[in-house]
Amino acid sequence: MGITIQQLSVFLENREGRLDEVLAALASNDVNIVALSLADTSDYGMLRMIVSNPNKGRAVLKEIGITAMLTDVVAFRVPHATGSLSKAMHQIVEGDVNIEYMYAFANGVDASAVLKTDDPARVADILRGSGFDVWEAAEAYVSNLDL
């Protein structure tokens, strides 16, 4: 079973219109954004996205002069019940694995969380062992659509 999915990461200078350019390029090339997070620092922003077609997304951005990288992340389903995410994180912390960053998104049926870790295999194991579904890549990329 797959452990990680590919996330598109884009280094964006704090310049006007940069984010707009990225989103417009993806939209006009039929690349659907499933989840998005924009982390800011004083000098730049780090844009992280789960999209319907990561490789196409990367190529599309390259064409407009934006360098996007593909990063392996772990994505898992989080039931809507209050406390679900807390339960998942608790298991991971107990397992003594480092989480670099995380973001979450809802997709109607339930929610999902995306996290970056230096030991994805271990995290996937812990999550599955605690009853959480870890997303396979192909399904994750269309997880926001009615299936």
Interface with another protein (CB under 8 A): 7, 9, 11-13, 39, 41, 43-44, 46, 48, 65-67, 69, 71, 100-101, 116
CA 38/CA 74 separation, integer angstroms: 18
Positive/negative CA dihedral, 84, 50, 75, 45: negative
Q: Whose Cβ is closer to another protein: residue 77's or residue 116's?
A: 116
Q: Whose Cβ is closer to another protein: residue 11's or residue 106's?
A: 11
Max Cα distance, the chain (Å): 45
The least CB distance from residue 80 to another protein, in Å, is 29
CA 22/CA 139 separation, integer angstroms: 24
The least CB distance from residue 110 to another protein, in Å, is 26
Q: Whose Cβ is closer to another protein: residue 12's or residue 142's?
A: 12
Half-sphere exposure of 139 (CA within 13 A, CB side): 15
Question: 137 φ, ψ to 5°?
Answer: -55, -60
The least CB distance from residue 26 to another protein, in Å, is 17
The least CB distance from residue 67 to another protein, in Å, is 4
Q: Whose Cβ is closer to another protein: residue 34's or residue 73's?
A: 73
Question: 4 φ, ψ to 5°?
Answer: -120, 160
